[in-house]
Amino acid sequence: MIRFKKYLFIFFAFCAGILHCSCSHDRLSYLYTGLHEHKNEQKDLVALFEKEDEPQIRFALIDKIAAHLQAEHKIKSLAVFLQSVIDAEPDNPYNGYFLLRLAAAYRDVQEDAIAAYYFEYIVQNYSDMIVNGQSIHLLCLKNLIELSGTGTKSVVYYSRLLTDFYNEFDPAQAYFMLAQAYEKQGEWQLAIQAYTQFLNLHRFDVIIPGIPDSYGYARKIVDYSTSTKSWTFNTLDDLVKTIKAAIRARDYATLERCRSKVNFFAMSWKQELSDTQQQPDTNLRDFMYGSAISIASELDPSSTPYEAYLRTSGWNQYIRTWYLYFKKINFPADPTIHGRWEWAGIYYGEKI
């Protein structure tokens, strides 16, 4: 960060030096030199700016001059201008807003590292204020979240959103993304706490890119953390042997004990997991009457080291073929079950 600040200081000094040398006849001519669409209006604004002392009018003039520079992509001139205003008037209550405008300009030209520096600097060093009906801290945090993704700093940004702007930002999305950030960092207990807060809001409509069922995702993690995990098996081979023996013996009680107690599903191959009835209210005993249930001698060839399918047929249901789905548990929060196997669901019908 120190090196970055030094870079910015050198950059501003360099730009200021060039502009001072090239524009010695008029120290502010750089604010309209090279402009096209707004040149004449900018000249008038600069002339007024040099004479005006009233703070509100001066703010409006600075804002308009900056807007013209940004509109015509004069980012270096914009940076020098706003920095000169801040240096000349360090107690100006609008300085935080001026830096916000500068940060936004850098985002427009994809200078995201510089933009992020300014957004964070504003939040840490300037009091919040409302400009044009918007909180500058809220705008900074939104931008920082977009720039950081679920990186380490996003924990700070989402936490600040939930603390300071709970009613001005979707709290459900904020809690979920905070939990995601904790999860990425391996802070599982904090992640589970955030997922629990998310679930307590009972929001089923939160859309997260790459996670079609955000509520189900959070519910699974929280349920894993609070369940006994007694249905898990150390190896896939142990699990399959137990299931096969229970089916042959029509031991529905063992089958009930073996199926996952977290998001067990029963669905057709064409359904989406988020559309299914998870933990279906079905007693396996009802489907074991009648003809003998046949079991494939080997797992389906499409099985992988992380998931497996076992074909069975003869169930007492209108769809008599079931593929039992086994999954390796991915839950680093609990090393005692992470990497173990569970019977996670049933697919109805022949494999597509």
Higher-confidence residue of 263 and 177: namely 177
Q: What percent of the chain has pLDDT over 70?
A: 90
Structure tokens at 256: 């009930």
Beta-bridged to residue 343, according to DSSP, are 259, 326
Share of the chain above pLDDT 90, in %: 64
Domain ranges of the chain: 1-143, 236-348
The pLDDT of residue 263 is above 90: no
Residue 302: name the closest of 330, 334, 325 by CA: 325
Residue-wise pLDDT tens digits, 116-133: 999 999 999 999 999 888
Note whether 114 and 102 are within 8 A (CB). Answer: no
pLDDT tens, position by position, 21-37: 444 337 888 999 888 88
Can you give the pTM of this predicted structure?
Answer: 0.73
Cα distance between residue 352 and residue 342, in whole Å = 23
What is the arrangement of strands in the sheet containing 294-295, beginning at the earlier edge strand?
Answer: 277-278, 265-268, 341-348, 321-328, 307-313, 294-295
Helices and strands (DSSP H and E) totals, the chain: 13, 8
- pLDDT score for 281: 54
State mean pLDDT over 98-111: 91
Contacts of 214 (CB under 8 A, 6+ apart): 176, 198, 206, 207, 208
What pLDDT shows up at residue 151? 79
Paired with 312 in beta bridges are 295, 322
Instruction: Quote the CA–CA distance of 349 and 319 in Å, as a whole number.
Output: 6
Contact yes or no for 151/129 (Cβ under 8 A): no
Amino acid of residue 272: E
pLDDT of residue 10: 47
pLDDT attached to residue 62: 94
Which sign, positive or negative, has the C-alpha torsion 332, 179, 272, 227?
Answer: positive
> Could you write out the DSSP letters of every residue in 154-211?
HHHHHHHHHHH-GGGS-HHHHHHHHHHHHHHTT-HHHHHHHHHHHHHTT-----BTTB
| Dist. CA 133–CA 319, nearest whole Å | 60
* CATH number corresponding to 236-348: 3.10.450
- pLDDT tens across 287-318, in order? 887 778 999 999 999 999 999 999 999 998 88
Q: How far is CA 298 from CA 240, 244, 308, in A?
A: 10, 11, 10
Q: Which long-range contacts (CB under 8 A, 24 or more apart) does 116-123 make?
A: 116/143, 116/144, 116/147, 116/148, 117/4, 117/8, 119/143, 119/144, 119/147, 120/144, 120/153, 122/96, 123/160
The token pair at 189 is 């207990």
Alpha-carbon torsion (124, 126, 132, 133), positive or negative = positive
Question: Average pLDDT, stretch 334-347?
Answer: 93
Residue 4 in this model has a pLDDT that exceeds 90 = no
CB hemisphere CA count around 327 (13 angstroms)? 13
Does position 322 have pLDDT exceeding 70, yes or no?
yes
